[in-house]
Structure 1
Amino acid sequence: MEIETAEAQRTHREEGREAIAYFRSPRAIRERCEQIFAWVNEGHSRYFACDLTQLERVADYVISVMRCEYPDLQIPFHSRWRHFEVGNVPRLNQLENRLAELTPLFKAAAKFDLAIVSVLLDAGAGENWRYYEQETQLNLSRSEGLAVASFKMFCQGAFSSDNLLEVDALKLQALTEAELATGFQVNAENPLVGIDGRWKLLQKLGEVLVSLPHLFGEEKPRPGNLVNYLLSKSENGQLAASTVFNAVLEGLSNIWPGRLEIAGVNLGDVWQHPCLETAQSLHPAFVPFHKLSQWLTYSLLEPLQELGLEITGLDVLTGLPEYRNGGLCLDLGLINIKNQEIFRLSHSVASEVIVEWRALTVILLDKIAAAIREKLSMNAEELPLVKILQGGTWTAGRKIAAELRTDGKPPLQIVSDGTVF
């Protein structure tokens, strides 16, 4: 009997490991989102219907934005690095000058430190928050404002226990909410959505860095040590984008608050949708998105390329299911609303309507990308999804929102806790 029990326990553990690996994979994101997409197209949704006849129009709109932003179609990756350049200010050149004396490896580690902290601090800022940059007199909002605020804090050594251009576990764990609020110029007149959630996320990151020495180093754990781990996973100067993504998910899954778990492992940006409950599989209702983790992955690729690595399999990762890409699909009629009431309400990120919207966005981004490539006679190697997002759907989503609504808000309102978008 004991042998059978031990066998059963081993089987259970193995099933748990397999399920965790599955829900951390881009394949799971597409498969689960595809099931919701099919369900919506069968007419079952209470909220949405898709109109694929609008695909050509959306592709044309995005191409017009791409040609305006990048006339030669030499589009960079959709990543945090773009936001640091807001206002055509050469902040990255300034950073390069300050890192000039470091070896290429330490330079890449510093950039990992910056990108990881900055992306984790990027969840929606709300409509009222602004960051005033003294040197340029720019008043910045949303993602760009958050980027510059985190960039300035990093350059001032605010995330380092030695006041260096780096981030370390000791300082993150000691960081106070007041320090973060000061760095982000938050006060009663300048409120930032989810400042408490962001602070706790950084503190939790400090704890996680210490707990995973194989990823973040034994001595003075820091996010940048992930560079060494990824170099060890490269072969013949090549590194798969999915390898970077897996490392991000393994390294950071425990920082997310109160999420779904399997065998005690926090899954991160994974939610549930009732249309999947009848599926014949373990944890059938689960829908993974991993939006911030994928965007962070995209943001880590450039420092790796600067080390001479060739990144392979870019299109294994998915489009990002956030309100600009999803807003594009809604505002241009690829997704239609069945009940106008949802425009007037604010929705939890765990709500059926938001999970459904995000799932449709993942699948429609693949379809938009295919239509764009066909119109431009380019293939996925020449125009990977990460460039279409930048060129691209994210920019187009912001543009159409500004054309349709005076404040440029997304069409659906999401209650943010500072940890998802």
Structure 2
Amino acid sequence: MIPPELAALRSPAAVRSRCHLVLDYVLAGRSAHFTVDEAALGTVADYVAEVTRQAYPTLDIPYHSRWRHFDAGGLQRWPALEQRLPTNDAAERARVMIDLAVVSVLLDAGAGDAWYYHEEASGLTIGRSEGLAVASLRMFEAGGFSSDPKVPLRADAGALMRIDADTLARHFQVSEAKPPVGLEGRVALLNRLGHALATRRDLFGDGVIRPGGLYDALFDKAPLGRLPAPTILEALLDGLSAIWPAGLVVEGVALGDVGRHPGVEVPDLSNHLVPFHKLSQWLTYSLLEPFEAAGFAVTDLDALTALPEYRNGGLLIDLGAIVPRTPLLPEQKQPVGSEMVVEWRALTVALMDRLADPVRERLGLDASQFPLAKMLQGGTWAAGRRIAAERRPPAGPPPIAIDADGTVF
């Protein structure tokens, strides 16, 4: 039985509330690492609104999700795969979309500056998140995540448990000249995913055990076809919290993407704990479209938080909202679990909440038209990448160098 105070960390409400506690700590001047210039949020809002209007002149903005990356280079790759599915089975299409999204998101921690993927079909050479997306889609298309050659468009527990570094390296075109960050960490993540699926048949199926089994598990939790976004996240955190190789463990409970920070003081086992669940929330955003394609109305989108990753967080540093107390040195890599990085990530979540309304005002949209899922896409992620390239050309690395293992950033 999981202690209730630890179980409570598996929710977007806990992510938001504890990140705001860290913001309060920094605003009180107690941080050794950062100060916050709240006035600079206006500058950030101006920049984000400008980037959003340039990318989406009609302000018809999709969700921030893995599905955008599958369209890298302006090519729509998913429709070609979709044509190979039974045309009249919306439920199976949703399961396949969930399978693809789950494995692709879990492979979507930062690739680093050296790695890229060459897509033979298009002739395109693609790096970073988009390259990882296209590589994972092509591996999925080739049956690389399925244990049944007759059903290649599937990811199942058996195949995931057997994937090794050589297999992933072959599909992702890894070489000494273009190594991705954390290849072994990604393999471990997929292997752990397979084991986690196999131990939770209630969530992932009692026949073929696959991520897509989540569709059936959540079907009954969507009365009148309305499925709250936090319900998706909480199911993922319940079923997959043990997969993170570097995840925090307290009292024998695998908490996943959770850090420690002195700004959170509570009188129980969760003292100093700050949950983020970055990849799980990124995955939740990426599952909105599979569920909507199956006919569900996904609700409560803004109950999710902004993603505490280096594009959103880098934007806030580069435009002066988060101010380092000492100069940032690119050669000094900070561990993911360090107080400095935990604080940076928490400030990112909290300040993105404060940024949302100013950006909406500049675009003339309200919260229903422009939820966080669209601000991230429009939006802060692209703005973070652009300002990084301007400040640190040509590759645009984050302002803080991270010693990452491929499972968080």
TM-score exceeds 0.5: yes
Structure 1 gap segments, 5+ residues each:
1-12
Aligned residue identity for 1:400: I
Match of 2:203 among 183, 194, 215: 215
Amino acid at match of 2:168: L
Instruction: Please point out which of 192, 213, 231 is paired with 2:219.
Output: 231
CA contact (8 A) 1:19 1:262 kept: no
Secondary structure of residue in 2 paired with 1:311: strand
Q: CA deviation at 1:339?
A: 0.4
Q: CA RMSD in A?
A: 1.3
Match of 1:65 among 24, 43, 51: 51
* Residue of structure 2 aligned with 1:247, choices 235, 260, 284: 235
Q: Aligned partners of 2:281, 2:336: CA distance in 1, in Å?
A: 18
Could you tell me which residue of structure 2 aligns to residue 335 of structure 1? 322
Q: Larger deviation: 255-264 or 266-275?
A: 255-264
- Contact map agreement 1:327 1:401 (CA 8 A) in 2: yes
Query: Retained in 1: the 8 A contact 2:258–2:277?
Result: yes
- 1:101 is matched with 87
Instruction: Give the counterpart letter for 1:312 in structure 2.
Output: T
CA–CA distance in structure 2, aligned partners of residues 262 and 351 of structure 1: 17
Q: Distance in 2 between matches of 1:74 and 1:310?
A: 18
Aligned residue in 2 for 1:7: none
The question of whether the paired residues in 1 share the 8 Å contact of 2:328 and 2:399 is answered with no
SS in 1 for 2:227: strand
Match of 1:322 in 2: 309
Matched, 1:191 2:179: yes
Q: Deviation at 1:254?
A: 1.2
Q: Kindly state the Cα deviation for residue 21 of structure 1 after the two structures are TM-superposed.
A: 2.5
1:125 paired residue among 111, 114, 120: 111
Instruction: Give deviations 1:138-183, integer Å, cap 9, x for gaps.
Output: 1111100000000000001111111320011111112221111100
Report 1:6-405 matches (<5 A).
16-101=2-87, 103-163=89-149, 164-276=152-264, 278-405=265-392
Give the corresponding residue for 2:405: 417
- Stretch moving more, 365-374 or 152-161: 365-374
Deviations 1:280-306 (A, max 9, x none): 343211000001000000001101001
Question: Aligned partners of 2:121 and 2:328: how far apart in 1?
Answer: 44
Q: Secondary structure of the residue that 1:99 maps to in structure 2?
A: coil
8 Å CA contact 1:213–1:221 kept in 2: the answer is: yes
**Structure 1 residue 101: Cα displacement:** 3.4
Normalised to the residue count of structure 1, the TM-score between the two structures is: 0.94
* Aligned length, in residue pairs: 406
Task: Quote the offset at 1:218 in angstroms.
Answer: 1.2
1:238-285 Cα shifts (integer Å, max 9, x gaps): 000000001111111111114222442211000101233x43343211
Q: Which residue identity does 1:219 align to in structure 2?
A: G
- Unaligned residue ranges in structure 2 (runs of 5+): none
Answer yes or no: is the 8 Å Cα contact 2:65–2:282 preserved in 1. Answer: yes
- Quickly say closer, same or farther: Cα 1:194–1:102, change in 2 above 3 A: farther
In the alignment, the residues of structure 2 paired with residue 372 and residue 90 of structure 1 have an alpha-carbon distance, to the nearest angstrom, of 29
TM-score by length of 2: 0.97
Identity of matched residues, % = 50
User: How far does the alpha carbon of each residue in 1:190-221 deviate from its partner, in whole angstroms, 9 at most, with x for none?
Assistant: 11111111111111111111100000111120
Deviation at 1:310, TM superposition (A): 0.7
Which amino acid is the alignment partner of residue 230 of structure 2? Answer: S
* SS across alignment from 1:267: strand
The one-letter amino acid paired with 2:285 is: Y
How many angstroms apart in 2 are the aligned matches of 1:189 and 1:343?
A: 22
CA distance in 1, matches of 2:198, 2:32: 45
The CA distance in 2 between the partners of 1:248 and 1:200, in whole Å, is 18
Deviation at 1:344, TM superposition (A): 4.1
From the CA coordinates, give the structure whose radius of gyration is larger.
1
Which letter does structure 2 place at the counterpart of 1:419? T
Partner AA of 1:257 in structure 2: P
- The SS at the match of 1:275 is coil
Contact 2:99 2:212 in 1 (8 A): yes
Residues 368 and 198 of structure 1, relative CA distance in 2, 3 Å threshold: same
Q: Which residue is 1:4 aligned to? A: none
Judge conservation of contact 2:101–2:286 (CA < 8 Å) in 1.
yes
Separation (CA, whole Å) in 2 of partners of 1:341 and 1:317? 30
